[in-house]
């Protein structure tokens, strides 16, 4: 069974540059903690746990990217 989320980030009108920056800072902290946990699991040959941490790490990074993209102005090339 595939348990990956299909949720797409939807920007909200109240999103501010300060809130976006806070989300990105917090996401970076979480991503580093997950990466550290993944490395520790890999070093101790807990491969399944390491793989789960890799998937989780990618999800956090992807979500942070979606936040950035959602808050960038759309530029049109003429």
The answer to the question of residue 2 being in a domain is no
The answer to the question of residue 5 being in a domain is no
Report pLDDT for 32: 95
Report the C-alpha gap between 46 and 48 in whole angstroms: 6
The answer to the question of residue 77 being in a domain is no
Digit-by-digit pLDDT tens for the chain (78 residues) are 455 555 565 555 566 888 888 989 999 999 999 999 999 999 999 999 999 999 999 999 999 888 888 877 666 555
Domain of 63 in residue numbering reads as 17-70
Report pLDDT for 12: 55
The answer to the question of residue 32 being in a domain is yes
Q: Alpha carbon of 49 to those of 1, 28, 42, 54, 64: distances in Å? A: 18, 21, 8, 9, 23
- The radius of gyration computed from the CA coordinates of the chain, to the nearest angstrom, equals 16
The answer to the question of residue 41 being in a domain is yes
The answer to the question of residue 36 being in a domain is yes
Report the C-alpha gap between 53 and 1 in whole angstroms: 18
């Amino acid at each position: 069974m595939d348990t990956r989320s299909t949720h797409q980030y939807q920007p909200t009108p109240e999103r501010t540059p300060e809130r976006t920056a806070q989300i990105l800072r917090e996401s970076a902290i979480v991503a580093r903690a997950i990466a550290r946990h993944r490395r520790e699991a890999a070093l101790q040959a807990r491969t399944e746990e390491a793989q789960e941490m890799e998937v989780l790490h990618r999800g956090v990074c992807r979500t942070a990217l979606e936040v950035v993209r959602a808050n960038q102005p759309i530029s049109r090339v003429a």
